[in-house]
Chain A
């Protein structure tokens, strides 16, 4: 059983680290893919210049090229994710994309034993310099040897 923190100063220093990612354009094609995924059709996809459905975030390449978190524990699991919008996205607009490690925390005990959670945000910024949207993932890293079965935490 892990009884000492694996969060070293070097790991802690990752919090706040920013990485510029490839810019993302809200293409009509991306909107069509997202509509196909969530609505089962592409009918009525908005034209360039019109508002895009918020779920277009699913079809943008958000975070595929982010830096891997150090492999401190063997397994990882998505425990939560979220999308945030400050305004409607527009078909055709290009957004600056940046990755930020927002938080790292750890927990001793519980259903998964010692675990580390990492919250990472992808921030999308419009041409005016204002944040337009965010995509946030929180991953839990754990060792399956320490996990035990159970119901909802």
Chain B
């Protein structure tokens, strides 16, 4: 299932993308980047930093936005831009929902493009990330 540029309207909503980044995923992220701030995986270090538990790295959440938009787009084109503005920490293992709404549909440089407003909501329904994505359609 792919999005279709000809069917796209401003205000269209992307399917919610549900996930719960766990400790294993966080550790894989740390390993890939070879960066290991202890509050990402050590509950005592997280508590010392003022968090009620270990937290999900912000850059990992950028990739979750990418995945949500990319899965909606399918093979209709490619993601040109994703941005995440981090508002609240998210605790490891807690449910998150990536939501998106088409904000602008336009043509540029001969290609169909769309801008999407993205929000990651925590289990209380609060925005932990406010984001943005832009996609380009092949046809």
- Residues on A close to B: CB < 8 A? 33-34, 36-40, 51, 53-55, 58-59, 61, 64, 78-88, 137, 152-153
Contact = CB atoms under 8 A, between A and B. Distances in A.
Contacts of A37: 25, 28-29, 32, 60, 63
Nearest to B19: A38
Interface in B59-101: 59-60, 62-64, 66-67, 70, 78-88
Q: Is the interface of A mostly helix, strand, loop or mixed?
A: mixed
Nearest to A34: B32
B112 interface: no
B127 A152 contact: yes
A64 B80 CA distance: 24
Contacts, number: 78
8 contacts: A33-B28, A37-B25, A54-B82, A58-B59, A58-B60, A78-B86, A79-B86, A152-B87
A132 to B, nearest CB: 12
A83 B66 contact: yes
Interface residues of B, number: 30
Given A37-B25, A85-B81, A88-B78, A53 B62 contact: no
A54 B86 contact: no
A61 B126 CA distance: 32
B59 A81 contact: yes
Nearest to A64: B34
B8 to A, nearest CB: 20
Nearest to A149: B50
Given A54-B66, A54-B78, A55-B67, A82 B32 contact: no
A139 B127 CA distance: 20
A40 to B, nearest CB: 8
A80 B130 CA distance: 9
Contacts of B43: none
A10 to B, nearest CB: 28
A70 B59 CA distance: 22
A81 B58 contact: yes
A81 B64 CA distance: 13
Given A80-B85, A86-B80, 9 more contacts: A37-B28, A54-B78, A55-B63, A61-B34, A80-B84, A81-B58, A81-B83, A84-B80, A152-B127
